[in-house]
Amino acid sequence: MRRLAFRNRPLLLTAPTLALLSLAPAGADARDWSLVLGAGAGLAPEYEGGEDLEVSPLPLVIFTWQDWLTVSPGGAEARVARWGRLSVSGRLGYEGGRDQDDADRLKGLGDVDGAATAGLKLAWTPEPFEVYLTVDRALGGSDGLTGKLGLDYTAKVSDRLTLTAGIAAVMADDEHMQSYFGITPRQSAASGLARYDAEAGLKRVEFETTATWMIGGNWMLFGSAGVGVLTGDAADSPVVEEKVQPRLSLALGYRF
C-alpha cells in the first residue's frame, strides 16, 4: 500500500511543460524574451521504482529567448540548426542521482551521485505534433547514457486554455541501468537483496497530459498528470517495489 510523505526536493519540469509555460498571454506585445516565475507542488514516487509517494515543492523559473533558447530548473536547451520543421538542439541538464536513505529498500545500496548531463535533441514538428529524440550523457554519477523517443500533441482549446498529451519510450545503457537497478555482490551483502545485473535496453514507457490556463493578465495556472511504467531489466530489479510510477503537479506562475 502506498504511503504519502513530504520531502523538500523539487521536481523537474518536462519539455512540453516548459513550452506551455513560456507562451505569451493573449494580447501581449511581441518581444524576444519571456520570464515565468512561480511555485507549486508535485507528487511522485520517492525514487524511480519506489512504492511510496512524496510531495515536493515545484519552483518555476523559466527564461526563453526568441524560439531557440530555454533555461529552466531542468537545465538549458538551445537550437543549433533548423531545416524547415526539422531541428537539432544542444542540451545541458542535471541527473539527480539517488540517496540510499530515500527508502528502506535502498539501504545498503549506497548513493548514486548527481551529475551534470550534456546531450542533443532531434525534433520534427508538423504542428500540432512534435516527434523528438533526445540523447543525454551523465558527466559523472552513473556515467550513463539515456535516450528518449517521444510524440507530443498540443491543442489550443481557447485563448486561455492549452492542452498537451504525450507518450515516450526511455532507453538507457549498461552504466545507467546498473547504477540505478543493478545490485553488486557487495551491495547484496549489505542490503539483503539478491545480486542482479541490469543491462541496456528500454527501461520505461511514459504517458503525460498537461494543461495551462491563462487566468487573467499575465497569471497562469499549470497542471499535469502522468504515469511511467518500468519495463525490461528495470522492472525486474529487486530494487523496484512498484512498476507503475504516477506523478501529478500543480503550479501558479506569472509571466513578465
Q: pLDDT for 179-207, tens place per residue?
A: 999 999 999 999 999 999 999 999 999 99
- State the average pLDDT over residues 93-119: 95
Query: Average pLDDT of 93-100?
Result: 93
- Residue 18 is predicted with a pLDDT of 60
Burial class of residue 218, CB neighbours in 10 A (0-12, 13-18, 19+): middle
Q: In this model, does residue 76 exceed pLDDT 90?
A: yes
For residues 215 and 152, what is the distance between their CA atoms, to the nearest angstrom? 24
DSSP track, 206-230 = EEEEEEEEEEETTEEEEEEEEEEEE
Q: How many domains does the chain have?
A: 1
Higher pLDDT, 9 or 164: 164
Mean pLDDT of the region 62-68: 88
Asked if the peptide bond before residue 128 counts as cis, ω within 30 degrees of 0, the response is yes
Mean predicted confidence (pLDDT) in 98-118: 95
Q: What is the DSSP-derived secondary structure letter of residue 112?
A: B
* CATH for 164: 2.40.230
Dist CA 224 CA 17 (whole Å): 8
pTM of the model: 0.88
Least confident among 5-14, 51-60, 131-140, 171-180 = 5-14
- More confident position, 30 or 226: 226
Tell me how far apart the alpha carbons of residues 243 and 93 are, in angstroms, rounded to a whole number. 25
Instruction: Give the rounded percent of residues in the chain with a pLDDT score beyond 90.
Output: 76
Phi, psi of 102 (to 5 degrees): -65, -30
The model's confidence at residue 15, banded by pLDDT at 50, 70 and 90, is low
pLDDT band at 3 (very low <50, low <70, confident <90, very high): very low
pLDDT at residue 17 in the model: 53
Nearest CA among 113, 32, 19 for reference residue 72: 19
Question: In the chain, pLDDT over 70 holds for what percent of residues?
Answer: 88
Q: When comparing pLDDT for 12 and 225, which is higher?
A: 225
**Cα radius of gyration rounded to whole Å, the chain:** 19
Question: What is the per-residue pLDDT for 13?
Answer: 54
**8 A C-beta contact, residue 170 and residue 206:** yes
Instruction: Give me the domain span that covers residue 87.
Output: 4-255
Determine the pLDDT at residue 8.
40
Residue 194 to residue 238: CA distance in whole angstroms: 7
Question: What is the chain's mean pLDDT, rounded?
Answer: 89
Per-residue exposure over 131-162, b if at least 16 CB sit within 10 Å of its own CB, e if not: ebebbbbbeebbebbbbbbbebebeeeeeeeb
11 — pLDDT class (breaks 50, 70, 90): very low
- 34 vs 89 pLDDT, higher one: 89
Contact 159, 214 (CB under 8 A): yes
